[in-house]
C-alpha cells in the first residue's frame, strides 16, 4: 500500500508540474497571432488587416519608408478627420487598381509582396465601402 500511494503522489506531482508548465507556455504560443493582425490599430476585418500587415505595413508605419510615411501611416489613419480618411481611402483604391502599390521596384526584389488578385479585391472592396460610409455620414 505504501508503495502505491508513493507512486500516486509522484504521478500527481508530475501531472501538476506538467500542467503548470503547459499553462506557462500557452501565452507564448498565442503571441504570434496577436502580434500580426491585432497589432494594427485599424478597425477592420481581420482578413483586411492581415493583407495590410503583410503587404503595406513595412513601409507605411513608424520606422518604414520616409516617403511612404508622409502619404499614409496606417496607425494614424483612425485618428484622421473623416474627410481625410475618405480621400486617403480613394487614394488607396486607386493605388491598388493602378498597380502602383506595393511599388514596382520593391516587387522586383520581393515578388512575394505582390498583392494577389483576391487580396487586391478584398482591399478595394473594404476601402470603397468605408469611403462610401464616411461619405454618407
Ligand atoms: C516598399 C515600400 C512600400 C510598400 C510595401 C507599400 N508602399 Fe505605398 N508608398 C510607398 C512610397 C515610397 C510612397 C510615396 C511615393 C509614391 O507615391 O510612390 C507610397 C505612397 C502610397 C500612397 C499615396 C500615393 C499614391 O500613390 O496614391 C498610397 C495610397 C499607398 N502608398 C498605399 C499603399 C498600399 C495600399 C500598400 C499595400 C498594398 C502599399 N502602399 C505598400 C512605399 C510603399
Per-residue pLDDT at 32: 43
Ligand 1 within 6 A of CB of 127: no
**Inter-CA distances, 49 with 4, 23, 78, 90, Å:** 56, 29, 13, 18
Q: What is the pLDDT of residues 32-84, one digit of tens each?
A: 444 455 668 888 999 999 999 999 999 999 999 999 999 999 999 999 999 99
Give the residue whose CA is nearest to atom 3 of ligand 1: 59
Which cell goes with 103? Answer: 511599388
Ligand 1 lined by 91 (C-beta under 6 Å): yes
Ligand 1 atom showing the smallest separation from residue 52 Cα? 37
Total residue count of the chain as it appears in this document: 137
Instruction: Report CA dihedral (45, 51, 53, 54) to the nearest 10 degrees.
Output: 160
Amino acid at each position: 500500500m505504501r508503495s502505491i500511494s508513493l507512486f500516486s503522489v509522484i504521478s500527481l506531482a508530475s501531472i501538476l508540474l506538467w500542467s503548470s508548465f503547459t499553462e506557462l507556455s500557452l501565452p507564448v504560443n498565442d503571441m504570434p497571432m496577436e502580434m500580426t493582425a491585432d497589432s494594427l490599430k485599424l478597425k477592420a476585418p481581420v482578413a483586411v488587416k492581415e493583407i495590410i500587415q503583410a503587404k503595406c505595413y513595412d513601409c507605411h508605419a513608424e520606422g518604414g519608408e520616409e516617403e511612404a510615411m508622409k502619404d499614409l501611416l496606417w496607425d494614424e489613419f483612425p485618428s484622421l478627420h473623416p474627410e481625410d480618411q475618405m480621400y486617403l481611402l480613394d487614394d488607396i483604391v486607386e493605388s491598388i487598381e493602378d498597380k502602383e502599390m506595393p511599388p514596382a521596384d520593391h516587387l522586383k526584389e520581393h515578388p512575394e509582396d505582390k498583392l494577389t488578385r483576391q487580396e487586391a479585391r478584398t482591399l478595394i472592396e473594404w476601402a470603397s465601402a468605408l469611403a462610401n460610409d464616411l461619405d454618407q455620414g
